[in-house]
Structure formats: structure tokens, C-alpha cells
Structure 1
Amino acid sequence: MSEVWLITGASRGLGRAILEAALHSGAKVLATARDITRFVELQAQYGANLATFELDVTDERQARHAVAEAVRRFGRLDVLVNNAGFGHIQPFEHIPTDDFRAEVETNLFGVVNLTRAAIPVMRAQGRGHIFQVSSAGGRIASPGLSAYQAAKWAVGGFSDVVGKEVAPFGIQVCTLEPGGMRTDWGHQARSTLTGLAPDYMASMAAFKALIESYVGNEVGDPERIAQLIVALAAREGLPSRLLLGSDALYVVEVEEAARSEAMQRWKPVSLAADFGTAPPQWPSA
């Protein structure tokens, strides 16, 4: 029996690659996006195996309708891929509140909305896979990505908790954390990084230079990542989080090593919070 997938943000970039890989594997897919005209050619190629749904993931009602449409068209829902998202690069001080909120609404609450809608269906079936397409940015801190990374950190924590809650129902929740990929994400994010204020040169200049040199030279192959996701959907015992790409592994290993070192340096202060403990030995500056 062909598995049924629902993919958000499926019209371009990694989402499009996941859509094509899933269809090629024989899956039936409800592909969602804000602009469903981008699916016309694939519909001609895959016919009844591909249904489309115009979706704003920030709208909880639309999210419920999308899941219901997948079940109506194909009878079930086996795999949910929460892929829709975007990012801007700006110092936090300069991000308008509405823009910050918009990133969090899409990158976090979009995931929350679809996950909430899918769980009852998968629970009734006794199985299902939920893939949250996050980022290595959900485990590190990059100057200029406060809204994006705040949402991605939240996606990881949210998904870890929900994964434990729904595991007894046969539902696996896996947060995917890719590094840089050769999609249009970097070009779009970089377009907002203009006219960096002199006050922020010290903290952001190095990251700005890295982004400008890296866009177009990312090591992550979206087609290979899509194929890995299709393979993961056929497996059990998935990790709660999975880094994808050598760059993702590297930056997270460096960040977590630094965090661990800081925790050990400040351990005496942490322990001094308990009843009956002596004043802490403060670490040297």
C-alpha cells in the first residue's frame, strides 16, 4: 500500500525536492503551498497520486482542513513533513516587531498547527512519521538570526516533548537539522542584510562575510537530503533530532563543546544555589 504524505512549503527548494522524491518512491502526496500553480507540471506527470492544497501554515483552521483533505483524498496520513519556513538576517534591535512575529508564526506555529492536526489521525491509525524540517540553527546562535533561530530552537524543544507524548501511539517525531543547502533560502535571507549599522560591525561583520561567501557554495544537496527523508520514513527507531550535512555537524559540535566547557567552568556557581552550600568559587575572567 502506498504511503500518504503531506508536505508543507512544497513548491520550491527543499520542499520541492522532498515532494519529487516522495512521488518517485510511489507515495501519494498532498502538496501544500501558498501558490499551488507551481505544481501543474507534476500533476500532469503523477496524476491522481498528487493532490494540492493552498495553505497558509499560520492559519490553524487551514491546517486542519489540509490534514482532512489528505485523508479525504487518500484515506489516511502516514507522513507529515513540516517544511514551510523563511528567515531574515538583521540585528535584533532593527527587526520590526511585526516582522519578528511573522517569522515565529511561520517557523514555529506553522509546525505546531500541522502537528496538532495530524496527531489524532495518526493516533487512530496506530502509526505515523512527523518530520520537522528545522535547521542546525536550532542548536547554535548566529548574530542576525534572532527571530529565525528563536523559532528553530523552539521547534526542537516542542518536537522533543511531543515525540515523547505520542511515542506510545506508534508516532515518531524527528526534527531534521540541515546545514546550508543550495536552495533559494540563502539568497532570500541575504537580501535583508543591507546597510549594516556601524554599531553592529563588531558582532555581525564576520557572519555577514560568511553568509555572502557561502551562498551558492553550500555543501548540502537538497535532492540527497530529500532521498534520505524518504528512506527515514520507511524506518523505525528514529532519533528525536538528526543533523544533516557535514557543516551542520561541525558547527553544532563546536557550539555544544563551548557550552559544555562553560557549564563546567560555572559549575561551582550552579551548585551554590542549593540549601546549605558554601559561597561559590567564582571562575576567573
Structure 2
Amino acid sequence: MARTWLITGCSRGFGRALADTVLDAGDNLLATARDPAMLEGLGVGKPGRIATAPLDVTDERQAAAAVHAAIDAFGSLDVLVNNAGYGDIGSVEDTPVASFRRQIETNLFGTIIMTKAAVPHMRERRDGHIVQFSSVGGRLGAPGRAAYSAAKWGVEGFSEVLAQEMKLVGVKVSIVEPGGFRTDFAGPSTKIDGGRPEYDGVVGKAARMQAAYHGSQPGDPHRGAAAILKLVAMENPPLRLPLGSDAVVAIALSDQKRLDELERWRPLSISSDFAA
């Protein structure tokens, strides 16, 4: 039986690849973008299985309208994928507060807003799957990306709580954590500011690596999309799924360092308890 998906940010990148893969699998799709004209060509040759809607994920009315559009077009909403997002590079000192707000508004609040729009329908049906796009930067501090990491760490915490609640009503929640994929995320859609010399060892290094990395990332967006379809088909999917070999390596190293630090400072940590 065909599933109905709502994917945010389908105009390009991972969202576009996932949209193509969903349609190729024979499922229904409500494809969204801030500018629906950017969805031209999506679903050609697949009539009746795709609908589109304008969507700014930070707009609560548009979020509700998109969910209703999917239900009206296909009868239900089975899978919500919160993919829309972006991340600029710059130091904490040199990133304007307004930029922090914009990135957190899109990456975190956009995810919260879309999730809240879809949950009542899924709760009533006692079925559904919510897939949240986080990032390697949601598991470790991504150099030069303080605003992005702040938002994605928020997505991780929000989604971990959400998963515990949704389990009670039969709705699944998964967090995907991509590493580097060959989309335009590292290209024109990213503002890069190498910053002042004091931070060159971290921020400047990240900026140079980003420029060199674009076009040579190890991740294939269509193979990543295929992995997400497998995830959604699972009876008992994982809460977290890193995507890409670089993501697996980076997260494993970070988690091990965190465990090592926890053990190193265990005596000081537990010294704060009341004396037995």
C-alpha cells in the first residue's frame, strides 16, 4: 500500500533526491518549497501521485495548510520529513544575533512547527512516522557553525522527547544525521566568513575545508534517500541513524571522547552528592 509523504525543502539537495526516490517507489508525495516554482519537473510522468504546496516552515498557518493539503490530496499523512534547513559559517563573535535567530528559527522552530502541525492527525490515526533531519553537527560541535549546531542539538533533544511521547500512540520518530553529501549545502546556499585571524585555527580552517569539500563529499543523496525509505519501512526503526561513512566515524570518535571525559572526571562529579 502506498504511503503518503510530506517533505519540506524539496526544491533542491537532499529534499529533492528524497522526493524523487519516494515517487520512484510508488508512494504519494506532498512536495513543498518556499517557492513552488522551484518544484517544476518533479514527478513528471507520475500523475496523480504528487501534489505541491508553498511552505515557509516558520509560518504556522502555512505548516497547517500543508498538512491539510496532503490529507486532502491523498486521504492521510503517513510520513513527515523535516528536511528544510541551512547553515552558515562564521565565528560566534562575528555572527550577528539576527543570523543566529534566522538559522535557529528555520532549523529548530521550523521542525517544531511542522511536527506540531502533523502530530494531531497521526495521533488520531495512531500511526505515522516523523523523520527529523539533524546532522553530524547535531551530535558534536561543528566548527564555525555555532548557530547551526545550536539548532540541530535542539532538534535532537526535542525529537528524543517527542519519540517517548509518540510511542504511546503508535507514531514512530527517527532522527537522521547526515555527514557530507554532494548537494549545494556546501556551495552557494552557504554563507562563508573565515573571520578574524584569532579564530583561523577553527573558523578559518572550517571555511577553507568547506570550499575544498564542495563537490567531493562522500555521501550520495540518492543512496541516502534510499536508506531513509528503508528506515521508514522498518517495524522497529532506530531513534538515530547517522548517514554516510564520515558521519559514523565522526560520531563514534566524539562519543568515545565524551565517555572518556565522563570517566576521567567521575570522582569530581559524584563528589557533589550528599555525604552518605
TM range (shorter): over 0.9
TM-score by length of 1: 0.93
Match of 1:200 in 2: 199
Q: Does 1:221 align with 2:216?
A: no
List per-residue Cα deviations over 1:247-284 (Å, max 9, x = no partner): 0011111111111111111111101111127xxxxxxx
TM-score by length of 2: 0.96
Question: What SS is found at the alignment partner of 1:112?
Answer: helix
Match of 1:179 in 2: 179
Match of 1:283 in 2: none
Task: Supply the AA of the counterpart residue of 2:71.
Answer: V
Question: What SS is found at the alignment partner of 1:242?
Answer: strand
List per-residue Cα deviations over 1:206-231 (Å, max 9, x = no partner): 33333233221110110001111112
8 Å CA contact retained: 2:87, 2:190:
no
- What CA distance in whole angstroms lies between the structure 2 residues aligned with 1:143 and 1:41? 36
Match of 1:168 in 2: 168
Identify unmatched segments of 5+ residues in structure 2: none
8 Å CA contact retained: 2:79, 2:129:
yes
Match of 1:259 in 2: 258
- What CA distance in whole angstroms lies between the structure 2 residues aligned with 1:62 and 1:23? 23
Q: How does 1:9-48 map to 2 (within 5 A)?
A: 9-48=9-48
Match of 1:134 in 2: 134
List per-residue Cα deviations over 1:81-140 (Å, max 9, x = no partner): 100000000001111111110000100011101111111111111211111011111001
Match of 1:280 in 2: none
- What CA distance in whole angstroms lies between the structure 1 residues aligned with 2:257 and 2:210? 22
- What CA distance in whole angstroms lies between the structure 2 residues aligned with 1:202 and 1:53? 43
- What CA distance in whole angstroms lies between the structure 2 residues aligned with 1:177 and 1:117? 23
8 Å CA contact retained: 1:89, 1:189:
no
Identify unmatched segments of 5+ residues in structure 1: 278-285
Task: Supply the AA of the counterpart residue of 2:216.
Answer: N
- What CA distance in whole angstroms lies between the structure 1 residues aligned with 2:201 and 2:18? 39
Match of 2:52 in 1: 52
Greater CA deviation, 260-269 or 155-164?
260-269
Q: CA deviation at 1:201?
A: 1.6
Distance change (3 Å), C-alpha of 1:190 and 1:36 = closer
Task: Supply the AA of the counterpart residue of 1:244.
Answer: L
Match of 1:154 in 2: 154
Aligned residues: 276
Q: CA deviation at 1:190?
A: 5.1
Q: How does 1:97-116 map to 2 (within 5 A)?
A: 97-116=97-116
Match of 1:119 in 2: 119
- What CA distance in whole angstroms lies between the structure 2 residues aligned with 1:92 and 1:158? 23
- What CA distance in whole angstroms lies between the structure 2 residues aligned with 1:183 and 1:203? 23
Question: What SS is found at the alignment partner of 2:32?
Answer: strand
8 Å CA contact retained: 2:23, 2:43:
no
Q: CA deviation at 1:235?
A: 1.4
List per-residue Cα deviations over 1:154-186 (Å, max 9, x = no partner): 101110110010112111100000100000001
List per-residue Cα deviations over 1:55-76 (Å, max 9, x = no partner): 0000112111110111111110
Percentage of pairs with the same residue: 45
- What CA distance in whole angstroms lies between the structure 1 residues aligned with 2:16 and 2:117? 22
